Amino acid sequence: MMRIISLTIFSILFSSAVANADSTNIGLKVSYGNMEASGSHTTNSGSIAYGGTAVSASGDADFPFGSIFIERQISAGSMDVALGLDINPTTQEVDKLGGGDGFDATVDMGNLYTAYIQPMFASNGNVTLFAKLGYSQADLDIKDITRQATTAGTASTDGNTSKSLEGPMYGIGVNVSLESSFVRLEATRTDFDEISHTNSNGKVLKADAELDAISISFGKSF
């Protein structure tokens, strides 16, 4: 629901900029990301509604991903402002969980959408520096669950599950114009809100995640 609301608001702003738009930018972005998560999980318990003692845990994973974007770039005095939408409808495997804590599963992230505003400041000739502020939403899928240990002595009956990730994105970058095309290099961070999941044995898992990405983009202006 939040994704629909966010994209609807962005579409209204995007459409209102069309009449005054200096250019439309489209492009392909290739990124290399690091996703770091920290949180806690309780021990399984068939008799305690909210599980047992909480145990802290953290981890991170590196993975590549690609996306496409479209922008309306508007002249605003001494700088330009771009309103953009970055779309990655594919799914990437983030990590495999297993071994030590009695839970084996595959974690995937997909359908990553980011609506953003991008102030652009002319620096030298065809080189432009820019800042970036937006809001991202994605799906986190936990699947291929093969084993769950249990303190209470009864195995969990949980199957695949999916969670929604949402949070602000911010970053900086440099844009190099090449006639009607351009190349960009940028660094961004997305702070996702905390997610929580309770399995069939009352084991409670909570996690905060951050996605850091270095990206190179190739685009064209019309």
User: Burial, 124: exposed, middle or buried (Cβ in 10 Å; 0-12, 13-18, 19+)?
Assistant: exposed
Give SS3 for 222. Answer: coil
**pTM exceeds 0.85, yes or no:** no
Worst-scoring range by mean pLDDT, 74-83, 89-98, 141-150? 141-150
Instruction: Give the model confidence (pLDDT) of 102-115 as tens digits.
Output: 556 777 888 999 99
Beta-sheet strands, E only, within the chain = 23-42, 54-76, 79-97, 103-124, 127-148, 161-178, 181-198, 204-221
pLDDT at 188: 97
121 or 201: whose pLDDT is higher?
A: 121
What are the structure tokens assigned to 108, written together? 């995937």
What is the pLDDT, as a whole number, of residue 200? 64
CA dist 134 and 2 (Å) reads 14
Instruction: Please state whether beta strands 181-198 and 54-76 pair in parallel, antiparallel, or not at all (unpaired).
Output: unpaired
Amino acid at 168: P
Per-residue pLDDT at 194:
81
Give the model's pLDDT for residue 109. Answer: 84
Q: What is the pLDDT of residue 10?
A: 55
Gap between the Cα atoms of 128 and 160, Å rounded: 45
Region 59-87: mean pLDDT is 89
Whether the Cβ atoms of residue 174 and residue 216 lie closer than 8 Å to each other? no
Query: Is residue 145 over pLDDT 70?
Result: no
- CA gap 86, 67 in Å, rounded: 7
Indicate the burial class of 127 (C-beta count within 10 angstroms; 0-12, 13-18, 19 or more).
Answer: exposed
DSSP 13: H
Alpha carbon 144 to its chain centroid, in Å, reads 22
Comparing C-alpha atoms, which of 159, 123, 114, 119 is closest to residue 141? 159
| Range with the poorest average pLDDT among 53-67, 141-155, 196-210 | 141-155
Query: If you average pLDDT over residues 131-144, what whole number do you get?
Result: 88
Lowest-confidence region among 7-11, 64-68, 78-82: 7-11
Q: Report which listed range, 140-144, 178-182, 218-222, is most confident.
A: 218-222
Q: How many CB atoms lie within 10 A of CB 47?
A: 9
pLDDT of the residue at 98? 61
Domains and CATH numbers, the chain: 2-221 (2.40.160.20)
Q: What is the pLDDT of residues 18-61, one digit of tens each?
A: 445 488 999 999 999 998 877 666 665 544 445 556 666 667 78
Amino acid at 183: V
179's CB contacts (< 8 A; 6+ apart) are none
Which 8-state DSSP code applies to residue 149?
Answer: -
Checking if the pLDDT of 73 tops 50, the result is yes
